[in-house]
């Protein structure tokens, strides 16, 4: 990179920048790296000292599982809306690797499991098309929440009563929507989540008592049967937390699908190209959508012990932050980074510390997202459906994407109309 690692970590002049972070969203970190002309600076967030970093060198550090932990790395409300206490993300060392292997098996190694997931998504999507034709205007994001929630239930085999399905889908979408800020809706969402966790906990207890038998090989069965490093089964509480860690992020993929639909509007040639399915070009498109779209803004980590790194002294307990969004938009790594160019051919690659929308480094040994393959495959399937299987109009609306809201999306949500099968 062209940016210079200074001998001493510069400090941002403000006393505490929590309010600026909330105001500036995705732009907060990139703006300060640019203004201070450095890939590293120190500031205070929520009155706590934090070192903020960007780029591939920093990504190597933040995804170094030996020296860092995710415990204490995000505000409690964010933690409990997303990964939650007791989750794989809150484990370190051998216990983390052992539990992570379960996610890697379910989401990466078991080809059948991944194929079932994509096929389920396709079926759930196609099932909605006749209704969309009758509806006139369709809010794509909301429809995708429901489609992906149904997909997640069917694929994991998580039990949810039919009459609660729409409420539960909205709850899971709210976990994601509210993770970026603390507001009046945070606590209501946390409370509703606790009720869902309670129901899932009860389901795992019934499995233990032999009163419920999940389909063998399903994620529900894998979670129920998983034994940790000490040969212990997961407590029903932790099993429920990890079940939500499969369901919630699958629903989050809908946000990338909306960004993909938005790209089809801005670059209609890509809709034409993908109307004739071509595996490589679908991957080019899906991966470039992951690179360019503002989604997971940054990740936090905490030093487990004091150490020296690049001439800096990092003290035990030091809070660190890595700019994922900015790293994916760095001019040093990507030519014309703000331009949508699927032809650049970025791919998920554990050796590439620049293209890191869902974390960096080793999935099996560090905290990198195990859901990337599932995300890419579902995104490809969605692109195939939107470009090649259905036709629709995009009526006049505000399609601008605010970079100050986290997470974000098109202002009017992305409304489509006149949905029909492609002739």
* Residue 371 touches ligand HEM, criterion: CB under 6 A: yes
Category of 4 on φ-ψ map: left (φ > 0), alpha (ψ -120 to 50) or beta: beta
Length of the chain: 423
* Residue 248 touches ligand MYR, criterion: CB under 6 A: yes
Q: Which residue among 39, 55, 300, 357 contacts ligand MYR (CB under 6 A)? A: 300
Task: Work out how close the CB of 245 gets to ligand MYR at its nearest, in angstroms, rounded to a whole number.
Answer: 7
Contacting residues for 185 by C-beta, under 8 A, at least 6 apart: 174, 178
Tell me which of ligand MYR, ligand HEM, none is bound by residue 189, counting a contact when its beta carbon lies within the kind-specific cut-off of 5 to 8 angstroms. none
Binding segment toward ligand MYR, per CB under 6 A, in 151-159, 245-253, 324-332, 391-399:
245-253
Nearest-10 crossing angle of helices 236-266, 184-208: 130
Contact status, residue 15 vs residue 44, Cβ threshold 8 Å: yes
Site for ligand HEM in 255-314 (CB under 6 A): 256, 295-296, 299
Q: Smaller CB distance to ligand HEM: residue 53 or 419? A: 53
For 177-190, letters b (16+ CB in 10 Å) and e give bbbbbbeeebeebb
* Residue 249 touches ligand HEM, criterion: CB under 6 A: yes
Tell me which of ligand MYR, ligand HEM, none is bound by residue 180, counting a contact when its beta carbon lies within the kind-specific cut-off of 5 to 8 angstroms. ligand MYR
Q: Which helix (H) or strand (E) holds 417?
A: strand 415-421
Give backbone dihedrals phi and psi of 322, rounded to 5 degrees, phi first. Answer: -115, 130
328/333 Cα distance (integer angstroms): 8
User: How many residues interact with ligand HEM (rule CB under 6 A)?
Assistant: 25
Q: Smaller CB distance to ligand MYR: residue 300 or 410? A: 300
Task: Work out how close the CB of 296 gets to ligand MYR at its nearest, in angstroms, rounded to a whole number.
Answer: 5
* Residue 100 touches ligand HEM, criterion: CB under 6 A: yes
Category of 310 on φ-ψ map: left (φ > 0), alpha (ψ -120 to 50) or beta: left
Residues that bind ligand HEM (CB under 6 A): 70, 88-89, 100, 103, 107, 245-246, 249-250, 252-253, 256, 295-296, 299, 324, 358-359, 367, 369-371, 374-375
């Amino acid at each position: 990179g062209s940016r210079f690692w200074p001998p001493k970590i510069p400090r941002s002049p403000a006393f505490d920048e929590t309010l600026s972070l909330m105001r500036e969203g995705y732009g907060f970190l990139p703006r300060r790296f640019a203004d201070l002309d450095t890939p590293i600076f120190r500031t205070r967030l929520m009155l706590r000292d934090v070192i903020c970093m960007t780029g591939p060198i920093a990504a190597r550090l933040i995804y170094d599982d030996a020296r860092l932990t995710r415990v204490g790395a995000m505000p409690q409300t964010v933690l409990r809306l997303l990964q939650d206490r007791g989750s794989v993300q809150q484990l370190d060392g051998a216990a983390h690797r052992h539990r992570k292997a379960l996610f890697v098996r379910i989401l990466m190694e078991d080809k059948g499991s991944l194929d079932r997931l994509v096929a389920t998504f396709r079926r759930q999507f196609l099932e909605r098309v006749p209704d969309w034709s009758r509806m006139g205007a369709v809010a794509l994001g909301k429809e995708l929440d429901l489609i992906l929630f149904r997909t997640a239930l069917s694929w994991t085999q998580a039990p949810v009563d039919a009459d609660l399905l729409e409420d539960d889908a909205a709850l899971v979408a709210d976990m994601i929507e509210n993770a970026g800020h603390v507001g009046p809706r945070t606590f209501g969402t946390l409370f509703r989540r606790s009720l869902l966790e309670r129901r899932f906990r009860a389901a795992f207890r019934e499995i233990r008592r032999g009163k419920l038998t999940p389909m063998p090989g399903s994620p529900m069965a894998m979670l129920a049967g998983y034994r940790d490093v000490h040969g212990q089964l997961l407590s029903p509480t932790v099993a429920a937390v990890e079940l939500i860690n499969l369901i919630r992020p699958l629903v989050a993929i809908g946000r990338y699908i909306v960004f993909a639909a938005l790209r089809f509007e801005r670059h209609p040639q890509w809709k034409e190209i993908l109307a004739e399915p071509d595996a490589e070009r679908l991957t080019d498109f899906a991966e470039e959508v992951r690179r360019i779209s503002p989604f997971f803004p940054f990740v936090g980590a905490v030093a487990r012990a004091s150490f020296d790194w690049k001439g800096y002294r990092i003290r035990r307990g030091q809070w660190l932050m890595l700019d994922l969004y900015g790293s994916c938009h760095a001019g040093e790594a990507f030519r014309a980074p703000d331009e949508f160019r699927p032809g650049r051919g970025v791919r998920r690659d554990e050796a590439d510390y620049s293209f890191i929308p869902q974390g960096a480094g080793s999935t099996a040994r560090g905290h990198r997202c195990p859901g990337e393959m599932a995300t890419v495959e579902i995104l490809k399937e969605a692109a195939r459906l939107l470009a090649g299987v259905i036709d629709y109009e995009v009526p006049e609306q505000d399609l601008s994407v605010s970079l100050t809201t986290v997470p974000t999306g098109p202002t009017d949500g992305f409304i489509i109309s006149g949905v029909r099968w492609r002739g």
